[in-house]
Amino acid sequence: MKKQWFIYIALLSLMFLGVSCMNDDDKNTVDLSPYASLNSFSVADMLMSTDAVTAEGKDTVVKQVVVGINYPFIIDQKNLEVYNPDSLPLGTDVTGVNVSVQSDGVVFIYVDSLETFVYLSSTDSLNFTKPRRMLVQSLDGEHSKEYKVRLNVHKADPEAMSWTNVVAPNIVEPMRALAFGGKMLVLGKNPDGALLVAESPMDIVEWSEPIEITTLPLSAQLSSVQQFNDVLYAVADGVLYSSTDGFDWSTVVADGTFETLLTASSESLWAVVDGSLAYTNDGTSFAKTIALPEQFPTENVSSAVYPLVTNPFISRYLLIGYAKDRTPAYPVVWSRLSTEDNWIQYPADEEEAYRCPAFENMTVVRYDNCLYAFGGKATIGETAISSFELFYASKDNGLTWMPLNNKKVFIPTQLKGVEAPYASAVDDENRIWIIVGGDNATVWHAAINRLLYN
């Protein structure tokens, strides 16, 4: 093998005579470099194959170019490893890749079928489905370094959701789920109407045995429980209650004027109090603002609070739900900014094409800078939607809605058509939870792959 190296080295050394260091005492002597290291590594453009759906709903494959220069490589001289920290897209063809290298010395690539190193040519097409061995030999033939070169490729589509089915809590009718105190908390009822609460760690789902809540009336509105400054709040029979753990509750305001809770952030908690919209900044003293507007959502309400993209110091409060007596029959969307006093209603699409469907037991969560709506069965126009069939998404704060049917962001097919009580939440690890009760209780959680470790 050394003989093979020296043949190439001898040929290359002739090319470097003009730049080689010459001995002052003997102008006919050439000093060959003793250095052997890989200085840069890059790949040429590659092709990527992606599964897609045509406008007619047929499966197809789309080929795209992956621009190699967009994926720089790290050369770890200590551990003699070469790799791209940003993985190539899922479906990138790495069976025939042209590479470009710069080095101090001559570069060879190991060929398994020959069980030896061969000179690396700029025209060589290399298979990187597994790591390759690359050797750099100094021109003087005395020194060498062997590098392990790998091309990292995403094994999962970063834009797709990965769902996991986990054990369910022993609560027949889940009504509210919250990421609270580093755990997932579920509030609900058993068949005889008793109020229950169970909790589980986020990482390894092991639900505690449900504990009966005896410090809240059976009439408590568990579905509207809100978290405000690490405290939970609930309304029952006009009375406001609070809890620091979801198990033990105590009275906060007992004047009988509280109708329902709406939303909460780190700044304020909003409620309907004696026919008016009201808020508190301390959890006890509520300030009324205006009389409850017509078509304001008070039933089956979901909420989201998040900073503006243009100014992170201003928050948008968003409410989506049904007005009293479901008039109108479709969900209404109201919003306010933390710097404004008034709530405003978003106009609904007259032709329903871009309107949020009227899901039974609707849930809306904010996820990946979008709003996702889903729930029981619904209709929109002439389209019938089965329970848990798909997400409807809004990228413009609830103004317009579109179905997600791209095979990447979806609800597990095992839930389609299931009609049972459920609760949903988004946890601190960017996962959506769907906790279904009934006779066949089940729990699913998922994350878009690129968000899992953000």
To the nearest 10°, report the CA torsion of 400, 51, 442, 439: 90
The reply to whether 220 and 97 lie within a common domain is: no
Residue 96 lies in a domain: yes
Closest CA to 118 of 7, 282, 27: 7
Residue 310 lies in a domain: no
The reply to whether 130 and 248 lie within a common domain is: no
The reply to whether 123 and 241 lie within a common domain is: no
Residue 274 contacts by C-beta under 8 Å, 6 or more apart in sequence? 257, 259, 288
d(CA 195, CA 222): 9
Q: Write out pLDDT tens, residues 134-156.
A: 999 999 889 999 999 999 998 88
The reply to whether 94 and 218 lie within a common domain is: no
Residue 312 contacts by C-beta under 8 Å, 6 or more apart in sequence? none
Domain boundary among 278, 293, 308: 293
Residue 87 lies in a domain: yes
The reply to whether 31 and 137 lie within a common domain is: yes
- Please compute the mean of the pLDDT values over residues 392-402 and round it to a whole number: 95
Phi-psi region of 193 (alpha: psi -120 to 50; beta: other; left: phi over 0): left
Q: For residue 22, is pLDDT > 70?
A: no
Residue 443 exposure: Cα atoms within 13 Å on the Cβ side: 28
Q: For residue 364, is pLDDT > 70?
A: yes
Print the domain residue range for 269: 213-293
The answer, yes or no, to whether the previous bond of 174 is cis (omega within 30 of 0) is no
Cα 1 from chain centre:
51
Report the DSSP beta bridge partners of residue 430: none
- Please compute the mean of the pLDDT values over residues 415-422 and round it to a whole number: 96
Residue 146 lies in a domain: yes
Report phi then psi at 120, rounded to 5.
Answer: -90, 115
Report the alpha-carbon angle 373-430-412, nearest 5.
Answer: 50
CB atoms within 10 A of CB 374: 27
Domain boundary among 150, 176, 203: 150
Q: Write out pLDDT tens, residues 303-345.
A: 999 999 999 999 999 999 999 988 899 999 999 999 998 999 9
Residue 17 lies in a domain: yes
8 A C-beta contact, residue 16 and residue 79: no
- Please compute the mean of the pLDDT values over residues 282-309 and round it to a whole number: 96
d(CA 23, CA 30): 7
Residue 335 lies in a domain: no
The reply to whether 132 and 218 lie within a common domain is: no
- Please compute the mean of the pLDDT values over residues 223-246 and round it to a whole number: 97
The reply to whether 19 and 128 lie within a common domain is: yes
The CATH number given to whatever domain includes residue 63 is: 2.60.40.2340
pTM given for the model = 0.78
Give the total number of structural domains in the chain. 2
Residue 373 contacts by C-beta under 8 Å, 6 or more apart in sequence? 302, 320, 331, 356, 357, 359, 362, 363, 364, 391, 392, 393, 394, 401
Residue 422 burial by CB count (10 A; 0-12/13-18/19+): exposed, middle or buried? buried
Confidence (pLDDT) at 248: 97
The reply to whether 7 and 118 lie within a common domain is: yes
Quote the percentage of the chain above a pLDDT of 90.
78
Least confident of 173-177, 381-385, 450-454: 450-454
DSSP at 41: E
The reply to whether 278 and 144 lie within a common domain is: no
d(CA 124, CA 278): 71
Which two structure tokens, joined as six digits, stand for 18? 């003009």
Cα 183 from chain centre:
18
Q: Write out pLDDT tens, residues 192-207.
A: 999 999 999 998 999 9
Domain boundary among 293, 308, 340: 293
The CATH number given to whatever domain includes residue 242 is: 2.20.25
Closest CA to 185 of 249, 247, 270: 247
The reply to whether 137 and 219 lie within a common domain is: no
The reply to whether 117 and 232 lie within a common domain is: no
Residue 422 lies in a domain: no
Residue 371 lies in a domain: no
The reply to whether 106 and 222 lie within a common domain is: no
Residue 147 burial by CB count (10 A; 0-12/13-18/19+): exposed, middle or buried? buried
